[in-house]
Amino acid sequence: MDAALALLSAGEVVAIPTETVYGLAGDATNGEAVARIFEAKGRPRFNPLIAHVADMAMAERIGVFDPLSRNLAEKFWPGPLTLVVPLRPEAGIHPLVTAGLDTIALRMPMGFGGKLIARLGRPLAAPSANTSGKISSTSGEAVASDLGGRIPLVVDGGSTPVGLESTIVKVEDGKVRMLRPGGVAASEIEALAGAPLLRGATAGIEAPGMLASHYAPGAALRLNVGKVGAGEALLGFGPERAEGWQQARAFLNLSETGDLREAATNLFAHLQALDRSGAASIAVEPVPSDELGEAINDRLARAAAPRDNLHV
Ligand code: TXA
Ligand code: MG
């Protein structure tokens, strides 16, 4: 904690655990720190970042909360929900964080991240701690092996409990639009909002998580597989196995019992491990798309997409 505080105060970046995935954090009010985040990730600069806050007072100093956004924050914070709200121009957020937009994505993380921000007294800009376009890191080890040489500190807090990035929503005229599925299931938000969510992005920015190919492992991915091909690795789900699974080059199960929460937690680490098996292709058994399955299938589809748009 003290080492992280010293570096962040000096405008450096630090990888920190959150309940979703590891974040590459920098002081959101310091342009140099934010530039270092983009540099370390090799991230296209037009993509805005999430600003992480310690409490509701900090959030309200940065963004303008309508009643529904405030209800969502009260229900799901701290936790894996990001709210896009109008930015207060006087908040001191460096424009690199929002890529010049007049809105800002805000999230209050659980655990270490929240405590760190409270002690720093300033919001932290933090995208997922991975090279742009690669799988998000869910352990300190994964961060170190991806970004280790490029950042001064990785705070190792073990495996992240949720394992998927936050759900991103934006309230528009009293309706909630889901910009990215994630750690809070759509049904939980609908229960609070009392209406079905709007889906898909509004005109304007393309979120990087919305590029077709994102979260890409080195190997090709084949989804909804009923039969494993020669030399393929297999990513399983549930108690039933795809045909030919005994011949798989490597096998890992997202959840033996078919539990979507457990599967979300394991997704990125299992993809990375199967990638390291050296297989040219990873076959993935079907995963249901209800509840957290929506976010899991979203990440799998992006990981399976053709890679030629990676350099957009
Ligand atoms: O769980 C998470 O959300 C993790 C942890 C570290 O908090 N962070 C994360 O950040 O996934 P990142 O930068 O990989 O994804 C943030 C997403 C991007 O798709 C970005 O385009 C979108 O948030 N975003 C940021 N500001 C936005 C805005 N003003 N309007 C719409 N989307 C925005
Ligand atoms: Mg990311």
Q: What is the pLDDT along the chain (312 residues), one digit of tens a residue?
A: 999 999 999 999 999 999 999 999 999 999 899 989 998 998 776 689 999 999 999 999 999 999 999 999 999 999 999 999 999 999 999 988 998 789 999 999 999 999 999 999 999 999 999 998 888 999 999 999 999 999 999 999 999 999 999 999 999 999 999 999 999 999 999 999 999 999 876 655 545 555 556 667 789 999 999 999 999 999 999 999 999 999 999 999 999 999 999 999 999 999 999 999 999 999 999 999 999 999 999 999 989 987 754 433
Which of 81, 136, 168 is the pocket-test mutation for ligand 1 (most atoms within 8 Å of CB)?
A: 168
Tell me if 84 CB under 6 Å of ligand 1: yes
Structure tokens at 72: 């969502």
Closest-CA residue to 97 (of 166, 150, 47): 47
**How far is C-alpha 18 from the geometric centre of its chain's CA atoms?**
10
Question: 243 forms bridges with which residues in the sheet?
Answer: 227
Closest-CA residue to 178 (of 104, 109, 83): 83
At residue 72's C-alpha, the angle toward residues 70 and 78, to 5°, is 100
Question: 180 forms bridges with which residues in the sheet?
Answer: 168
Q: Computed from CA positions of residues 145, 180, 57, 104, in that sequence, does the dihedral angle turn out positive or negative? A: positive
CA distance 57 to 63: 10
Structure tokens at 228: 């494993």
Structure tokens at 97: 């964080």
Question: 106 forms bridges with which residues in the sheet?
Answer: 51, 83
Nearest-CA residue for ligand 1 atom 6 is 23
